[in-house]
Amino acid sequence: MGTPIAISTTAFDGYSLKVALEEISRLGYQYVELAAVSGVIEHIRDGDFNTEYLENLSTLMSQYNLSSVAFSGHLDLTQADVVPLFKKRMHFAKELGVRIINTNAGPLERIDAFYRNIVPIARYAEEIGLTVAIESHGDIINEASRSAKVIERIGSAWVRINYDFANVFVFSDGRVKPEDDFSHCIKYCSHLHLKDVVLKNNLWQFCAIGKGIIDYAKIFRLIAKYKLRLPMSLEFPLRLTAKRGQSLKKFEHVPPIEKINKIIVDSMTYVRTLMESNKD
């Protein structure tokens, strides 16, 4: 089996989940990462984590011949009440048949709360056989040096890193080059988010992979060098932007389906070309 490459439904922010799945299937792709990113992009919302919705979603995905390896179940894991909420998402993801649930960690200033909450989360992850992949998100987890220390301190094989190349770059305001940083935490990674970014009028804007700043040619040479078979998702939060040094904000404008699909196809073509050129 080759490396699973999913399309994240984040690309279709502003459209229904049904439309997202229909379009991803129509483009000929097999894998999808469903977005339940709390407060940001929610194709699946808090009230949907129940048996009835799970059954309907499973039927819909079967209808479109789609499956998932990873699920975007992002919550702030430093919040006081987050453990039962996140466990609910973990259970839902496991029942859906995925192997990995991605999430952010939370603000660095609340890292003590994160360490308290991750203990029962890691225990539950081991119990149900689901890997929790904490995304490089400009908070507790971002560049490799800090992220590796966090994972080492947690000390669970069921808590790993979802390395997001563009996030590392943007949230460090361009200080950290992910193509150089990535190799220092590879052994702790279980999933990759691929997206690209450009700087226009002092604004970070997400774009097709291969059309931006991130050096994916070098990244895929590293992936080949280390013989990585990590599942990955192509992620396109096209409605999000940020001024340099500031947090992300959302555009009101929803891109047309045709534009979204072109960005997805161009990106997948580029990624597959890099993978093919780096085969042994």
Residue range 144-179, pLDDT digits in tens: 999 999 999 999 999 999 999 999 999 999 999 999
| pLDDT band with cut points at 50, 70 and 90 for residue 1 | very low
45: exposed, middle or buried (Cβ count in 10 Å: 0-12, 13-18, 19+): exposed
- In this structure, the chain runs to a length of 280
What distance in Å separates the CA atoms of residue 90 and residue 49, rounded to the nearest whole number? 10
77's tokens: 């894991």
Which residue's structure tokens are 């689901």?
A: 130
197's tokens: 């970014």
Asked whether 158 and 132 are in contact (CB, 8 A), the reply is yes
Amino acid at 207: C
CA dihedral angle for residue 9, residue 168, residue 175, residue 217, rounded to 10 degrees: -80
Entry pTM = 0.97
Q: Give which of 65, 53, 56, 74 is closest to 24, Cα–Cα.
A: 65
At residue 246, the pLDDT reads 75
Number of domains in the chain: 1
Domain coverage including residue 181 = 5-277
159: domain CATH number is 3.20.20.150
The pLDDT tens digits of the residues spanning 33-85 come to: 999 999 999 999 999 999 999 999 999 999 999 999 999 999 999 999 999 99
Half-sphere exposure of 200 (CA within 13 A, CB side): 8
